């Protein structure tokens, strides 16, 4: 087929590949004449996207591409109501987390305000323990698996769990100590879990007292509407 220069200024009769290599340069191409449909896979390499604006990125990064040790999510719950526990076992606070990755580790952190008193030397025992489980929450401590703690703390313990804090007596208190709260902070990294992504894991802080009562959130004297400190439980999922 012969090449024809038309009166309109167009050229016809040129077959695909008919122009010599190097004939078409950047100046020959009209602005916006090339779009994504004309680009082949892999046509844009890393050197041409190094300066891409973050505003052009959207969507989620697959968990499989996140390095081990990265934080996948953080959840937290607070308790603001005064708790009085007298020679009994109870679950002080609980939070569930639905895993985003497979076999993730869980960092458990609790901030526990323990109420002061004015009873002088008071021989009341207290144990605090972490436990975790799948399949929904429970009111029975033995339904939970141990998360940290020390089995050698045998003075007082929550059934089925090891205490991370245990004491034989209250801290000595008198006078205005009945308005004061002390804070105990517990932290434990639970590794070695074998849960698929999307698994709901319930983590709880349990307490046991014997030979008397402890208060939490507020001290012995005031109500929680007057003064105290908020109790928190924070769970961090970490990629493995």
Q: Would you kindly state where each structural domain of the chain is located, as residue ranges? A: 66-238
**What average pLDDT does range 11-26 have in this prediction?**
78
Alpha-carbon span 236 to 47, nearest angstrom: 36
CATH top-level class of 66-238: mainly beta
Which band of pLDDT confidence, cut at 50, 70 and 90, is reported for residue 240? very high
164 touches 150 (CB < 8 A): yes
By CB atoms closer than 10 A (0-12, 13-18, 19+), residue 19 is exposed
Lookup: tokens for 116: 């002061």
Task: Look at the chain and count its residues.
Answer: 240
pLDDT tens-digit series, residues 129-170: 999 999 999 999 999 999 999 999 999 999 999 999 999 999
Of the candidates 111, 73, 96, 98, which has an alpha carbon nearest to the alpha carbon of residue 233?
111
112 touches 92 (CB < 8 A): yes
């Amino acid at each position: 087929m012969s090449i024809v220069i038309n009166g309109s200024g167009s050229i016809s009769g040129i077959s695909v590949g008919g122009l010599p290599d190097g004939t078409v340069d950047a100046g020959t191409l009209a602005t916006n004449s090339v779009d994504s449909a004309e680009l082949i896979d892999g046509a844009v390499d890393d050197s041409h996207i190094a300066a891409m604006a973050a505003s052009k990125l959207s969507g989620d990064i697959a968990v499989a591409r996140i390095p081990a040790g990265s934080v996948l999510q953080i959840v937290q719950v607070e308790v603001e109501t005064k708790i009085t526990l007298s020679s009994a076992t109870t679950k002080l606070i609980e939070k569930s987390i639905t895993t985003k990755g497979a076999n993730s580790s869980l960092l458990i952190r609790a901030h526990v305000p323990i109420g002061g008193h004015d009873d002088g030397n008071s021989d009341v025992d207290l144990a605090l323990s972490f436990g975790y489980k799948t399949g929904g929450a429970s009111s029975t401590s033995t339904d939970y698996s141990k998360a940290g703690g020390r089995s050698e703390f045998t003075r007082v313990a929550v059934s089925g769990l090891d205490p991370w804090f245990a004491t034989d007596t209250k801290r000595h208190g008198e006078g205005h100590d009945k308005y004061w709260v002390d804070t105990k902070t517990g932290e434990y990294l639970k590794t070695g879990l074998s849960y698929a992504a999307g698994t709901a894991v319930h983590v709880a802080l349990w307490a046991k007292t014997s030979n008397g009562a402890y208060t939490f959130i507020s001290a012995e004297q005031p109500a929680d509407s007057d003064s105290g400190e908020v109790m928190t439980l924070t769970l961090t999922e970490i990629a493995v």
